[in-house]
Structure 1
Amino acid sequence: MQTTYNQLPLPQGGEAIQYADGKFTVPDHPIIPFIEGDGTGRDIWRASQRVFDAAVEKAYGGKRSVKWFEVYAGEKAFREFKTWLPDDTVSAARDLRVSIKGPLTTPVGGGIRSLNVALRQILDLYSCVRPVKYYAGVPSPVKHPEKLDVVIFRENTEDVYAGVEFREGTPEVKKLIDFLNNDLLKGGKKKVREDSGVGIKPISITGTKRLVRRAIEYALEYGRKSVTLVHKGNIQKFTEGAFREWGYEVAVEEFREQTVTERESWILGNVEANPKLTVEENAALIEPGIEFGSDDFRKELYAEVKHVLDTIGKSHSNGQWKKKVLINDRIADSIFQQVIIRPEEYAILACPNLNGDYISDACAAQVGGLGIAPGANIGDGFAVFEATHGTAPKYADKDVINPGSVMLSGVMLFEFLGWKEAAKLIESSMEKTIQQKFVTYDFERQMQGATKVKTSEFATRMIENM
């Protein structure tokens, strides 16, 4: 490990977090790199760091502390080092293992590559974790925001975010389109228009299974009732449809004793309701209209019912299946209405990259918006916690922005470290401050009788409320 990064020495009295055999070892005074972020990131980081330090001091009375270490990315890095993402910043995140960052600039339509995506891919932070729940007092556009309490696991390295795309009119895209039209699609009705830009959407067994595996492990650790695979497999059968299939494989092959799939629950439930039910009768209950299917379809369905009863008929019977983690799936467009009209039915959503991006923001909108939406990017041995919103440059250095996203990302960080007492102090003091209607402008304009305060003043009140 280096002693300096970006020409800055590591803070004295701190130690690096270690990782071995799939587990992190956290010292009492860990060195944690931070990127303050672009635009409003400067204001919200200053406020958040004060709150973090106050919570740790309050919880542990000096026995524990974080040794914060600034590393550079985005505009500040470019001004200082003429590069948007210095190699030393990546090295620090790799060597010190657990980091936190504010929002970073990502121009639309060209320029630099997304720094957020770059960090995820370089460190293979394959799991984007976004908890979404309601804090009392937060203004919301829905009647019962408290019913929504989900954790979204978004695959973080594949899908259209892999960055494999070709601009319209270039020799590269012409070569690809010619290959598609004249080779792979030859003789068929499907053609790619020659004036197209083309992107590639890779979804792999490896990427899918490790994401779903982490989601199921989280459900078991935190007592979550279900994991829902969100996909568009009805249209994209060999990418998102495969994500669904591989997700079920993980559940059945690796977590057989702890899980039950939705179809398995129907089959077992039918037998419990009527123990004399035949395999054929059971199949007709889970697939109405089976009589209109082909002989092969009916044989496959009968074989499925028999296999379920033979393999888990005893271990999951007598209502035991109701105590297992339920693995189900939903079409991506359907889940957008489901989280509004039936939010209490969902606990964990496991999604390919693009679906996870959309649904994270849609859920966040119901509980106060991205201003208080935390996030984490986690891989094997590395984690980066982050604000999930943009940089809002027109508000930079005005001390007005809601710091909740970074603060709650800090809650996730401290929970990840096992410092649950500090995490709870931050979370509870934020909720109390909001209930006191002592809030930044984004909430104040939606709350009758609220007091509009600065970012720094919100942090001060939070510390007082600890």
Structure 2
Amino acid sequence: MKIAVAKGDGIGPEIMDAVLSIFNANKVPLEYEFVDMGKWVFDKGFSNGMTPEAQQTIESLGILFKGPMETPKGKGVKSVNVTARKTWNTYANKRVFQTLHGVDTVFSKAGIPIDLTIVRENIEDTYGGIEHMLTHDVALSRRFITRPGSLQVIKYAFEMASKKGAKRITCGHKANIMKITDGLFLEVFYEVAKQYPDLKADDVIVDDLCMKLVSRPHEFDVVVLTNLQGDIVSDLCAGLVGGLGFAPSANIGDHICIFEAVHGTAPDIAGKNIANPTALLLSGISMLRHLGYMENASVIENALLYTLESGVHTGDFGDKGTPSVNTTEFANAIIANLGKTPAHGAKALLPNKPITPTVFHLTENPLIMTKEEMEEKIVGVDMFIESAEQPSIVAEKCLKHTGDLFKLVTISNRGTQVWPKGSVFTNLVNQYRCRFESVEEMALTQTDVLELYKRLMQDFKICSTELLNMWGDKKAYSLAQGQ
């Protein structure tokens, strides 16, 4: 089987060479096609950090094994790591965190074993990167949570949890504050949970989840979260088991999958042959299992665990009283231990059952959407306007333009209601949200909204608008704080 390999920037080539040397020593039956991705490709003028040939190769092979990559700072370009995940719709980011004997942590010293998996939604949320300055003082970031996108990652999380024999799956969220977006993610979680009655499904508010993870992580098994929250929580969990140097990452999609180390490029030690290749090796082991090379994966992982138990370590971890080894020596130690069994956490040697690669020839972008069950109607609009005037003056001007179809319901500033009720102790910025609803919830047209927009333009600069929709009798918009 042939896979695409991108060595990455900084320490990337060193740790990739170390991992591939271990694969070769174990006679892993893979061929590697090296592709051009990373900062040096940005510097050649490719704005997405990869050459067209690299993109074509990865899309034809379906598997990318990549080292850490750097995004140039201050050049207005997007992260190549995020671009790759989003371009190829690798919707589920799976990170496994487990106690590694030989890697001392607070929990290992206390005899508390950790074995938990974080599944992070990988495409949506604030990682859409859609931002605007509404006024010179006010920036807006749009947060997208979709039902089909949530369904993809949550379905994957339940299926993976079921196959690994997990007992519990937890949804981390902030639906107590973000009732529409996180509320949708949580709603989909419990819809999918009905299909897996053998799994205990529960949810935890994400700040409470963080507190519990650092105090009793052994209570959790599989946790699924939205993109930004999952990013933060997965790095927190890396800290529980020794740091990002021990954090493998698999990005799973329907057509393409990416396996990578999640730590940085460490330019300060690049070229010194002292970097720790463990995270990339663990990601590679995950890739082997994904491809069906179960025996190769177990033999290599057992050799890694045996090596760690033996006290062999690079400079970033381990007993400071014993000499550290360099990247090449660490890889050679693992190679020497191939076939040996660790005292703790040994992996069963299952037979290889390589998957048959599916080559996808897509002619158009897949459209993912669910069936609209109830009738949709527009019942109002939020007008985001620029003004440095007091709320009562803004309201007075807005009321002139409501006409027969609209009523002014509330005005908020930074999400807090300031009209018709509010407090003079609420600090204001020069941007308000003015909510207009239809009289008696009658259905409106976009033309009705546009006419209101045109009337309001006489008094305000309108920065942005959002339609207020209803599906059936369910309002699809949130209230202001204090409304």
Asked if Structure 1 and Structure 2 have the same fold, meaning a TM-score greater than 0.5 normalized by the shorter chain, the answer is yes
Q: In structure 2, what residue type is equivalent to 1:43?
A: E
- Give the structure with the higher percent helix: 1
- 1:75 is aligned to 2:39: yes
Distance in 2, matches of 1:40 and 1:111, equals: 24
Which amino acid in the other structure matches residue 128 of structure 1? N
Specify the SS of the correspondent of 2:301. Answer: helix
Q: 1:415 aligns with which of 289, 292, 308?
A: 289
1:380 & 1:145 partners in 2: Cα distance? Answer: 39
* Cross-structure match for 1:87: 52
- Pair 1:196 & 2:138 matched: yes
Where does residue 157 of structure 2 map in the other structure? 215
Task: Tell me how far apart the structure 1 counterparts of residues 111 and 142 of structure 2 sit (CA, whole Å).
Answer: 37
Matched, 1:227 2:192: no
Name the CA distance, whole Å, in 2 between partners of 1:415 and 1:379. 15
**2:407 alignment counterpart:** none
Distance across 1 between alignment mates of 2:141 and 2:42: 29
Find the residue that maps to 1:438 and give its secondary structure: coil
Q: Deviations over 1:116-157 (max 9, x none)?
A: 110111101111111111111112133447522111110000
Matched residues in 2 for 1:233 and 1:405: separation? 33
Identity of aligned residues (%): 36
The farther-off stretch of 419-428 and 198-207 is 419-428
1:268-417 equivalences in 2 (<5 Å): 324-417=198-291
Specify the code of the residue in structure 2 equivalent to 1:94.
E
Deviation at residue 215 of structure 1 after TM alignment: 0.4
Q: Does 1:244 align with 2:186?
A: yes
Structure having the higher strand fraction is 2
Deviation per CA, 1:12-68: give whole Å up to 9, x if none.
Answer: xxxxxxxxxxxxxxxxxx11111101001011111111012222x2xxxxxx61111
Q: CA deviation at 1:111?
A: 3.2
Q: For residues 178 and 131 of structure 2, what CA distance do their matches in structure 1 show?
A: 18
String of CA shifts for 1:63-105, please: whole Å, max 9, x gaps.
x611111001113324667552212212211110011100010
Please give the TM-score of this superposition, normalised by the length of structure 1.
0.70
Describe the shift of the 1:82–1:234 C-alpha distance in structure 2 as closer, same or farther (beyond 3 A): closer
Match of 2:322 in 1: 450
Residue 432 of structure 2 is aligned to residue 461 of structure 1: no
- Tell me the residue number matched to 1:180: none
- Cα shift at 1:251: 1.6
**Maintained 8 Å contact 2:42/2:72:** no
In the superposition, relative to structure 1, how do residues 196 and 79 fare at CA in structure 2: closer, same or farther (>3 Å)? closer
**How far apart are the structure 1 equivalents of 2:103 and 2:161?**
26
Alignment match, 1:98: 63
Q: 2: distance between equivalents of 1:111 and 1:426?
A: 41
Please point out which of 97, 101, 116 is paired with 1:150: 116
Deviation of residue 341 (structure 1)? 2.0
- Counterpart of 2:39, as a letter, is E
Q: CA deviation at 1:335?
A: 0.9
Aligned residue identity for 1:434 = L
Provide the residue aligned with 2:13 in structure 1.
Answer: 42
The one-letter amino acid of 1:464's match is A
Q: Does 1:124 align with 2:89?
A: yes
Instruction: Please give the alpha-carbon distance, in whole angstroms, between the structure 2 residues aligned to 1:214 and 1:204.
Output: 16
Return the letter of the residue paired with 1:231.
H
- The match for 1:291 is none
Describe the superposition over 1:377-400 as per-residue Cα deviations: whole angstroms up to 9, x where unpaired.
Answer: 111121010011011111111101
Q: 1:441 maps to what in 2?
A: 315
Q: Distance in 2 between matches of 1:382 and 1:236?
A: 31
Uncovered stretches (5+) of structure 1, i.e. residues with no partner: 1-29, 58-63, 175-193, 260-323
For structure 2, the 5+ residue unaligned runs are 339-483
**Alignment match, 1:281:** none
Secondary structure, counterpart of 2:102 in structure 1:
coil
Q: 1:245 to 1:455 in 2, by over 3 A?
A: same
Q: State the secondary structure of the residue aligned to 2:316.
A: helix
Deviation at 1:433, TM superposition (A): 1.3
Say if 1:436 and 1:159 are closer, same or farther in 2 by CA, change over 3 A.
same
* 1:432 matches 2:396: no
Alpha-carbon contact 1:411-1:423 (below 8 Å) kept: yes
| Cα RMSD after superposing both structures | 1.6
**Which residue of the partner structure matches residue 76 of structure 2?**
111
Opposite residue 172 of structure 2, the aligned amino acid is: V
How many residues matched? 336
SS at match of 2:82: helix
**Is 1:161 paired with 2:134?**
no
- Write the distance in 2 (CA, Å) between the matches of 1:377 and 1:411: 14
Question: Structure 1's 401 and 420: CA in aligned 2 closer, same or farther, altered over 3 A?
Answer: same
Paired residues of 2:112 and 2:218 also in contact (CA < 8 A): no
**In 2, Cα distance between equivalents of 1:145 and 1:37:** 37
Residue 140 of structure 1 is matched in structure 2 by 105
Q: Secondary structure at the match of 2:203?
A: strand
Q: Per the alignment, in what secondary structure is the counterpart of residue 452 of structure 1? A: coil
Preserved contact between residue 148 and residue 339 of structure 1 (Cα < 8 Å): no
* Superposition pairs of residues 169-184 of structure 1, within 5 angstroms: 173-174=134-135
Distance 1:401 1:225 in 2: 36
Cα distance in 2 for partners of 1:340, 1:205 equals 31
8 A contact 1:224–1:347 mirrored in 2: yes
